[in-house]
Chains A and B, each alone.
Chain A
């Protein structure tokens, strides 16, 4: 399966994803610009992505904790999610995400 990630510079990357991995882990593994400082504990909001509108509704709803963290970002949008909370599966093959400025490493 693949996920399609647009980085902060606007470049589009097709990344090989793995069933059961978190989107954040795939993005980090491929070396894109993602800070993910808490390592996937849903504690920091530095893996914040914008989900392509058509895909947003296909994701399980965000937890209250995740929503609080998304609210703490300066660049939130209605389709914001934390990529560490997106568990990949075959149904999400082709998932389109955009890395936000607030997820950048520096």
Chain B
């Protein structure tokens, strides 16, 4: 049965700008839920460059992508935002009562007074590996994510990739799979050293197979995989397989946003520069996903947009209420909200 969640504002996208929007809306007593396709907060900062230094965040001479996300999470904690991860918003519709109805692929329905789209470059989707005719196997015996571990029980599993996802699932599925082979194009991994060590122990104990090479082609019938062929330094090899999990990272696609009836400019949502509101009143767009004259795709621009958007959203969430502009340095009211006064 579909779950119904009612709130003031739903923020689509939990990247840095979506997270900071929680802060700006929170100061104005607006309660937020955030929805993100990733399984954790941070968006591109967490997925694409967690370890890379960022030098242009005001007040931080240097901070890593993950460091910025961790700080933002700490900063917004007083407002107790509610997160809904690993799901995508399929539809956004305006209701007769003026509220918006959002549905997700996790069978939830949200009713809210305003929507903030902070979806960056769009939704992250798994990259399809460079293997001919892999499409024929997708969803049947080739998967890009593990939804149910049981689908891999007593199967001959081949995992391809050299990052944390490949390593984590190697460790998680090894106990239940009939056989497990990890394939990576080189012996070095880009993953947590502890996971790499554990994997190497399993390989040394003969509990998994680790092969250095690339997938050349797949063998099977009607989408059911029977073998994965590899090209290795030592020549061709074949691994008997009934399941394959390729982990080649993620790429971004605009996704369902394109169908929500918003005015777009080259796949970006057109907004004004006073409220950062889209062509549909009550739906705002901030951060990399919006477009206006002079737009710069910088995290700091997104923060500014979040602050102005919050003022406009307040007028929708609490119509008629007078908003007194206050500073966190001097307002005890704001400090109480932050839990410091």
Give the B-binding residues of A (Cβ under 8 A).
37-39, 41, 43-46, 64-65, 67-69, 71-74, 76, 105-106
Contacts and interface: CB of A to CB of B under 8 A. Distances in A.
Interface string B231-270: 0000000000000000011011000000000000011000
Contact of B251 (A37, A65, A105): A37
B214 interface: yes
A38 B130 contact: no
Contact of B185 (A44, A46, A71, A73): A71
Given A37-B252, A44-B249, A105-B267, A71 B48 contact: no
A72 B130 contact: yes
A13 B188 CA distance: 39
A25 to B, nearest CB: 13
A73 B127 CA distance: 8
A92 B249 CA distance: 31
Interface string B199-214: 0000000000000001
B162 A72 contact: no
A44 B190 contact: no
9 nearest A-B residue pairs (beta carbon) = A43-B48, A41-B49, A72-B248, A38-B48, A74-B130, A37-B121, A41-B52, A43-B49, A37-B252
A77 to B, nearest CB: 11
Interface in B41-61: 44, 48-49, 52
A77 B52 CA distance: 28
Given A46-B251, A74-B130, 15 more contacts: A37-B121, A38-B48, A41-B48, A41-B52, A43-B49, A43-B249, A65-B190, A68-B185, A69-B249, A71-B185, A71-B214, A72-B127, A72-B129, A72-B130, A105-B266
A39 B128 CA distance: 21
A64 to B, nearest CB: 6
Interface of B: 44, 48-49, 52, 121, 127-130, 162, 185-186, 188, 190, 214, 248-249, 251-252, 266-267, 297
B48 to A, nearest CB: 4
A38 B44 contact: yes
5 contacts: A38-B44, A46-B251, A67-B185, A72-B130, A72-B248
A106 B121 CA distance: 12
Contacts of A65: 190
Given A64-B186, A72-B248, A44 B48 contact: yes
Given A43-B48, A72-B249, A64 B188 contact: yes
Contacts of A64: 186, 188
Contacts of B128: 74
A99 to B, nearest CB: 17
A65 B251 CA distance: 16
A33 to B, nearest CB: 11
Contacts of B129: 72
Contacts of A76: 130
Nearest to A38: B48
